[in-house]
Amino acid sequence: MESVKFYCDSKPQIGEIVQVIFTSRECDCAHGYMTEYNGEVIMTFSQATKKRRIRSINKIIPLNKPLASIIDSYDSSSNIACVNIKYLDDSDENYTNKFVTNNRLFNGIYQLCLTHHSNFEEIWNSIVFPFLLRLTKDCDKENFEFLENFIENIDELELLINNNIFFEEMKIKFEKTILKNEIFKRQIGIISNNGINVTKQLIKNSLEDDSVVQFKDNISIKYFSTPNYMIETNNSEELLSEYIRVLIINSKKIGNIFVKVY
């Protein structure tokens, strides 16, 4: 699934606000990738902040955390974009909400495909995304809300999806979707007879499971008292349940570690 991106084979535009995840830092720049496009990103430290003196590069450019950034330039031959974050308006969260709702739509279709053993890549690339592109015609693409317009026009997909059960479940699922930036959370207990390192390994390995790895950056695990953890995501209730399901399965494989859902 990691090969499938929200915008398929489309290319980002200069000046576009995109979501990126930086995975490494060197002496004067950070490297990472775009979450919704196929492509890598580079950002010099000078493009990270307007401040002349950088006190903590870890706070300004955190690793493995989704961030909004602006495309300064894009090389289509190498598929690498140069980005900056210093000119973003910190008070404007509209772009962040757009990433969340895009992810909710993307993950929702993916979960349905898992349930119905359908080819997600084929359905997204050949049906859903072309449908979304058609909806953007004659619209302001920068402010276009994909999830909202998808829900409003979902009946038009009935003729495009050759599976009535899939379509009906999709319609019910998305018509219940809350468009606001909602946080889904659940408390669990993890009891390990083999120490904290085994617990950490269970959490990490479960995030790499095929059913959740694409969305692992939208899942947070917070420890607050032995043996309790809070699992949170801004994606969907389905993703939350799927990650907990994977935790339980993997704990049984490891042995001597138990996951309790409250």
- 24 - beta bridge partners? 31
Mark 179-197 as b/e (b = at least 16 C-beta within 10 Å): eeeeebebebebebeeeee
Determine the longest span between alpha carbons in the chain, in angstroms.
Answer: 60
pLDDT for 181 equals 61
Q: How many angstroms separate the CA atoms of 206 and 187, rounded? A: 16
Q: Which amino acid is at 129?
A: F
pLDDT for 91 equals 44
> What proportion of the chain, given as a percentage, has pLDDT over 90?
63
Which residues in 76-215 belong to E strands, given as ranges? 80-84, 184-192
Mean pLDDT of all residues in 67-94: 84
Q: Which residues contact 254 (CB under 8 A, 6 or more apart)?
A: 198, 201, 202
- pLDDT over 60 at 94, yes or no: no
- pLDDT over 60 at 252, yes or no: yes
0.75 cut: is pTM over it?
no
Q: Are 239 and 112 in contact (CB under 8 A)?
A: no
Q: Which amino acid is at 243?
A: Y
* Domains 17-84 and 184-261 in one fold: no
Q: What is the dihedral of CA 83, 34, 74, 131, to 10 degrees?
A: -130
Q: How many angstroms separate the CA atoms of 157 and 128, rounded? A: 8
Mean pLDDT of all residues in 243-254: 94
Higher confidence at residue 5 or residue 88? Answer: 5
DSSP string for residues in 15-57: T-EEEEEEEEE-SSEEEEEESSSS-EEEEEGGGT-S-SS-S-H
Q: How many angstroms separate the CA atoms of 37 and 5, rounded? A: 6
Mean pLDDT of all residues in 203-232: 88
- The CATH architecture assigned to 184-261 reads 2-Layer Sandwich (3.30)
Query: What are the pLDDT digits (tens) for 15-28?
Result: 999 999 999 999 88
Q: Compute and round to an integer the Cα radius of gyration of the chain.
A: 20
Q: How many angstroms separate the CA atoms of 86 and 140, rounded? A: 24
If residue 232 lies in a helix (H) or strand (E), which one and from where to where? strand 228-233
Query: What are the pLDDT digits (tens) for 184-199?
Result: 899 999 999 888 999 9
Mean pLDDT of all residues in 77-89: 89
Domain residue extents for the chain = 17-84, 94-175, 184-261
pLDDT for 156 equals 94
Domain 17-84 has CATH 3.90.230.10: no
pLDDT for 238 equals 84
Query: What are the pLDDT digits (tens) for 106-156?
Result: 999 999 999 999 999 999 999 999 999 999 987 777 778 899 999 999 999
CA distances (Å), 40 to each of 21, 77, 98, 112, 137, in order?
9, 12, 21, 29, 28
pLDDT for 92 equals 47
Higher confidence at residue 205 or residue 183? Answer: 205
Closest CA to 41 of 4, 6, 85: 85
Closest CA to 82 of 34, 117, 129, 114: 34
Closest CA to 175 of 144, 211, 151, 156: 151
